[in-house]
Amino acid sequence: MRFDSPWNFRRIGFKIDQRLELARKEFMDIVTERVYILAFFVQMIMVIGIIYTAILYTSIAAPETGGELILSAQPRVGVINNEFDLKFKGLKVVDIKETGGTADLKDMVEADDLVAIIVFPENIKEKIENGQDVKSILYLDNTNVLSGYADSEISKRIEELSDRLMRERMPPEYDPDVLTEPIGVQVIYLGAVRGTADAPEFVELMYGILIPFILLLPTFLSTNMMTDSIVGEKERKTYEILIASPLTKREIIIGKTLPILVIALLQAFLWIVLLNFRGIAVYNVSLLILLLILLNLAFIGFGIIISAFSDNIKDANTGVTLILIVASILFFLPLSLRKEIYAMSPASLISRLSSNPSVDLAEILPGYLILVMLGLIAIYLGGRLLDVRENLRL
């Protein structure tokens, strides 16, 4: 083709316009399809539910670390005889008068929506000055999912108060640190996760399983989008018209792939923003997006392969379901493989990238290269199978 010819330039411009029009049409078909709109909102509900489930799990399994994540919940705690004017992080203090007994306290917890009631003795400061034995009682509503955090926070504040009072009354010749804690232990979490949500329980649950699952939701859906796009053309009897257009098969595949890729990446980026907004740090966003691009291309390629063998949506959905079941098993099932092999799993890569502010690129590069080859092979094989199946029909 000679590019100095005005006619050739017009042909090139015409083909580019056709490609853009195909991509625009596919994009509008997806964003206006009620099924995909519903799927988006279902994903959003799942993501929000997953985040709060992880937070509640952490408040139970490791309540001392969940403060920053559940501050917005503001559970209420009642305090009787609060002479020290104690405040508790993440808890709303409600001063109440002493009641007749335990039964009254139970009724008060339910009526005033309290997670706990802490009862201090009357004239507690005077009793401490006189050297009397002072005990407080914590009534905890253990049916409340935030009771674990409330128990931990209240106990910690009372211990701090007791330690301060002891230090104030200790003779100056004694070192209070040595007397109260002869052997100290400092715990440092190596995960470098932002905030106080750095408990091993939270890191393992959120970064090991839930964040990979959240970010893979749009990727899994991209396979279904591709099969709907191609097989839908077959069912509407417009597929033959499309392949008879001036666009090549490769250009048709690109025109259908780009909108699906953009939509899947936008959804994944939105989930990352939502996680960060809720205080759950997601690191290495650029590397994660690149990883998701490669993953989406591979799953889109699988969608093309399925479309080549499917003449209706029902058959295509069956193939997509099988692919997603196999992928979920390979990604999330703790297989008894060598550590080096399992480390290249997409779920493992997402976990490592999202949870660590710095990663060794040499360690994750093999996983990226595998996904590049897998995506190219899947898309190429899908295109060839479409040609073969098309020729068989003719």
**Class of the 67-180 domain?**
alpha beta
- What is the token pair recorded at 164? 């301060």
Give the residue extent of every domain in the chain: 6-57+199-393, 67-180
The pLDDT value given to residue 3? 41
pLDDT in tens, 296-326: 999 999 999 999 888 888 889 999 999 988 8
Strand order in the sheet with 114-119: 92-96, 76-80, 114-119, 137-140
Sorting pLDDT into bands at 50, 70 and 90, what band is 288?
very high
Whether the pLDDT of residue 10 is over 50: the answer is: no
Question: Which contiguous run of DSSP H or E holds residue 121?
Answer: none
Alpha-carbon distance 302 to 227, whole Å? 9
C-alpha closest to that of 203 among 151, 289, 280: 280
Query: Do the Cβ atoms of 208 and 309 come closer than 8 Å?
Result: no
Of the segments 65-79, 117-131, 223-237, which one has the largest average pLDDT value?
223-237
> Could you tell me whether strands 114-119 and 137-140 are parallel, antiparallel, or unpaired per DSSP bridges?
antiparallel
Question: Is 0.85 topped by the overall pTM?
Answer: no
- What is the token pair recorded at 214? 């959240």
Residue keyed to tokens 């001063």: 95
Whether the pLDDT of residue 104 is over 80: the answer is: no
Alpha-carbon distance 326 to 313, whole Å? 20
